[in-house]
Amino acid sequence: MKNPKKIITVIGARPQIIKASAISRAIQTTFPEQLQEVIVHTGQHYDENMSALFFEELHIPQPGYNLNIGSGLHGAQTGKMLEGLEQIFIAERPDAVIVYGDTNSTIAGALAAVKLHIPVVHIEAGLRSFNKSMPEEINRIACDHMSTLLFTPTRTGLENLEKEGFSVEGTGPGSADNPAVYQCGDIMYDNSLYFSTISDERSSVLTDLNLKPGDFVLCTIHRDANTDHAEKLGSIFEALLEIQQLSGKKIVLPLHPRTKGKLNEVKEETLQRIRENASIVMTDPVGFLDVIALEKNASMIITDSGGLQKEAYFFRKPCIILRPQTEWVEIVENGNALLADADKTKIVAAYNRLIQKDDFTFPAFYGDGRAAFFICEKLVNDLK
Ligand code: UD1
Ligand code: UDP
């Protein structure tokens, strides 16, 4: 029998750890003879509830390596990752390196691999905000152009790649000079379907936070464009206060550590009103099974997270996007979500519009829940 192909999966930030569970599960259940996975954690996220928690609850194999890089300025953080990853790739000699999304761990993994002539597999390729002030936009464009196999979740992603000169015929095997592009659906749709019933069985978050189904709005904030400008963060909180008052619903905010660290920069008067309002429930970050329970039972989701925007769609909830634009354009074009930036007036107006809307539709923009199997099949067949 042929040796399995050795794949190194690079992860670092919370959403990548969650995404990686879909591929690890597909390898374990369907491709254990053909694919061998070594997980490398850069250590970009390191708090228990931003990292370790997910390995346990999502049954992700423990990383073979953890670089423990931690937080830092973009250059320093990415540079340290690059150096550490290069050593591991040289020692392990993988047949390919998988990177996810658009974080500093993504760009470091792709750059270290391509310079060693190791094929880069980019999962979540082709997404664009057309806003290069976002660090993620730089990371994803650069990563796509270093990749050998590009897996895009959406039709829009495929079109974006075609406009940048990629051939999108979907023919392997591909090389760095002649990459192969596939539209395969979203592995996070796979995960949301898979973990939905497990969340129903295991999550106690509604009881723990004393929440009733339909009686709360879920909100997350972590983009640097919002957290690093006190007036923008303040404007979002002012909007949440107004929505709480006009709706009477609770607002549940699992706070990203970045946001928690910036809270005290918000105007004291706003902070005081938030603290005094018992219906604004701030918590530490929660696990994926808990976040699914919150998403399924919220009346609406307000977020600047890429992941939450789509999960709102998967669980058929309206969404207010706290950004000027999104890479997940289909949910806005289809009327499931509204862009409101960090503008109090727009956020409140979006709430009022979405709460009255009763003709939502949910076309299958994100595939059939089998993206991870599709990707693994291509890895088996396309990699030399
Ligand atoms: C990173 C990604 C972003 C992604 C997000 C997911 C980049 C450039 N950004 O943003 O695309 O949407 O992850 O959550 O890669 N911190 C902790 N504990 C942790 C992790 C972070 O306290 O475990 C704090 C530190 O103060 C740190 C700050 O959060 O400086 C920001 O962390 P960092 O990983 O640099 O960026 P994120 O905002 O998390
Ligand atoms: N998430 C989680 N716990 C939380 C908040 C988010 O498990 O307290 C999950 C969420 O369901 C999604 C992913 O983390 O799958 C999104 O990560 P994040 O918002 O940090 O990053 P982004 O998707 O914007 O890159």
Q: Whose CA is nearest to atom 4 of ligand 1?
A: 103
Q: Whose CA is nearest to atom 12 of ligand 2?
A: 307
Closest residue by Cα to residue 132 from 344, 325, 264: 325
* The pLDDT value given to residue 169: 82
> Is-contact 7 102, C-beta < 8 A?
no
> CA 152, CA 371: separation in Å to the nearest integer?
10
In this structure, are strands 319-321 and 35-41 parallel, antiparallel, or unpaired?
unpaired
Closest listed ligand to the CA of 44: 1
- Name the phi and psi angles at 362, rounded to 5: -135, 70
Question: In angstroms, what is the C-alpha Rg of the chain?
Answer: 20
71 Cβ inside 6 Å of ligand 1: yes
| Pocket-testing residue among 123, 127, 295, 305, ligand 2, by greatest number of atoms within 8 A of Cβ | 305
Q: What is the dihedral of CA 11, 15, 21, 22, to 10 degrees?
A: -120
258 Cβ inside 6 Å of ligand 1: yes
* The pLDDT value given to residue 352: 98
> CA 250, CA 379: separation in Å to the nearest integer?
45
Please name the amino acid found at residue 113: A
Order of strands, edge to edge, in the sheet holding 250-254?
A: 280-283, 250-254, 216-220, 300-303, 319-321, 337-339
**Ligand 1: which atom is nearest the Cα of residue 50?**
23
Closest listed ligand to the CA of 221: 2
252 Cβ inside 6 Å of ligand 2: no
Which residues are tagged catalytic?
222
> CA 161, CA 144: separation in Å to the nearest integer?
8
From the CA of 64, how far away is ligand 2's center (Å)?
24
**Ligand 1: which atom is nearest the Cα of residue 224?**
38
Tell me the angle at which helices 187-202 and 306-314 cross, rounded to the nearest 10 degrees. 70
286 Cβ inside 6 Å of ligand 2: yes
Residues sharing a CB contact under 8 Å with residue 303, sequence separation 6 or more, in sequence order: 218, 219, 220, 221, 309, 312, 319, 320, 321, 322
> Is-contact 314 206, C-beta < 8 A?
no
> Is-contact 362 331, C-beta < 8 A?
no
- List, for residues 295-310, the tens digit of each pLDDT value: 999 999 999 999 999 9
The pTM (predicted TM-score) of the whole model is 0.98
> Is-contact 89 66, C-beta < 8 A?
no
Low-confidence ranges of the chain (pLDDT < 70): 1
> CA 298, CA 215: separation in Å to the nearest integer?
7
> CA 50, CA 286: separation in Å to the nearest integer?
8
**Ligand 1: which atom is nearest the Cα of residue 72?**
30
* The pLDDT value given to residue 170: 72
From the CA of 111, how far away is ligand 1's center (Å)?
20
19 Cβ inside 6 Å of ligand 2: no
Closest listed ligand to the CA of 18: 2
> CA 384, CA 376: separation in Å to the nearest integer?
14
291 Cβ inside 6 Å of ligand 2: yes
Please name the amino acid found at residue 341: D
* The pLDDT value given to residue 1: 59
From the CA of 157, how far away is ligand 1's center (Å)?
25
DSSP 25: H
